[in-house]
Chains A and B, each alone.
Chain A
């Protein structure tokens, strides 16, 4: 199995501060990989650098090709897509326009099929297709952001904190959908603070701390790792098991 995304010895710096240090990771075809860690560990920075929003030193290759010379738009065209932490929707445009623009690089005929696919995944969006994106609820905005990214028929979807600020009940919904993407032939790289939920759907996981990967392996192993349980699942465990 060849790697769809391959990052090796990547560094990302914000000014003088090195936010990501010597990180290597791989995502294979049809795989769901998660990066867990506290906010501020460098997860978002890493995703943004893979997408080309921030400069990355080291190797980042997609589908076997080095992406160093590619800008964001080229990477989108190559089949890499990011749903960013702040979703970055077109707030004053309606749901349908947002989705249509998601297929900006795709021939019209294929885009029509994408609409169907997205509306099947997120029936709520179909109901609200004439509503302005900015007036949607948080959960619906997350669905729209994912839907918009899927309209471009990506090979790899990178999700940055899809559960952020959502009610636990909506989070469950979103995660179920992420699990369904695999069936649709989309690989997923998922960055989450909600380690428990992420580990449940992922095949493999990386644990990030202060800009470095400190642990990696099959998600089931990570979930039972004592150290992870103490620093990332500990609090959540207590809270959730008490509920």
Chain B
């Protein structure tokens, strides 16, 4: 085997793997806190990426309007849920979060969008839009289902995926888009060429992992999220709102998804439905990590990325087959090492 090709493939694999790692981390986070297996994570990726790409051409993406629409629905649900005891404070808070926030983001987007808008502003706008969508998605689709089984949550998750993917087509069309690179710098080490973009991918992935570790290990809110994941009733009994934990988890996941999208859209063309497959590869990493371990998930994601790179070179036709069957040996190992403890399922 040619060493240069190998190194090149490995580099490619690690770049993709880093993205899968980010997505895998978000999936683990959301699952642990809310028990939702977040299939629409892929849509956060495409929404982030394509909103950014559209902003780069000076247009206002439809996602900004979607955020407003979802906010209105969320507001309606808040009012309905609190119909028996409407307190001014509650209503004001709900208006601020669900109406004022997305409208402000939309207004900001209209005000700032243009062909000359700096990249950093476009990134910030895309993140804000997708973050709002993630927040409202939890409120609308999952908060009312919080007491149901993992299976029902999973099906609802699929429903969200279908709806958001369809909306993606409406907003961005069937044509793929590419966004501008975060930086055009590049340098070579030996046979390898490192672009500013790939460095950004590595840097941000590592930064996120460290930030998550600090957040969960050392902040009260992070500990509260962990507590919700460990014992939902226990958390409620000390006054941690499950809905608050869920919102934060979805907020983090949508931001992570959008960042992943913004990181890859300069490298490959993204279509409205590409996110699903990318998200699923994050899944594979998350499954290998057992849906609990963050470090294992990150390592597994690098493996998934590398396997994908190598198989697209040697057996490009069967790339997806290989990546998705990669899970089987892992599952075998996991089932052999499966502990005898019993999980109570409902």
- Residues of chain A touching chain B, judged by Cβ–Cβ distance below 8 Å, are 51, 53, 68-69, 72-73, 76-77, 81-82, 84, 87-93, 97, 100-105, 148-149, 151-152
Contact = CB atoms under 8 A, between A and B. Distances in A.
A101 B224 contact: yes
A73 B84 CA distance: 17
Contacts of A97: 223, 227
Q: Which of B231, B234, B236 has the largest number of chain A CB atoms within 10 A?
A: B234
Nearest to A99: B238
Contacts of A102: 238
B177 to A, nearest CB: 43
Contacts, number: 70
Given A69-B84, A93-B223, A104 B230 contact: no
Contacts of B238: 76, 101-105, 148-149, 151-152
Q: Secondary structure of the B side of the interface?
A: helix
A104 B84 contact: no
A76 B237 contact: yes
Q: Which of B226, B239, B240 has the largest number of chain A CB atoms within 10 A?
A: B239
13 contacts: A53-B233, A72-B237, A73-B236, A76-B238, A88-B231, A90-B227, A90-B230, A93-B227, A100-B223, A101-B224, A104-B240, A151-B238, A152-B238
A22 to B, nearest CB: 23
B134 to A, nearest CB: 22
B241 A91 contact: no
B237 A105 contact: no
Given A97-B223, A101-B223, A90 B234 contact: yes
Given A93-B226, A101-B227, A77 B239 contact: yes
B85 interface: yes
Contacts of A87: 234
Given A97-B223, A104-B220, A91 B236 contact: no
A89 B220 contact: no
A234 B233 CA distance: 36
A91 B230 contact: yes
Contacts of B240: 73, 101, 104
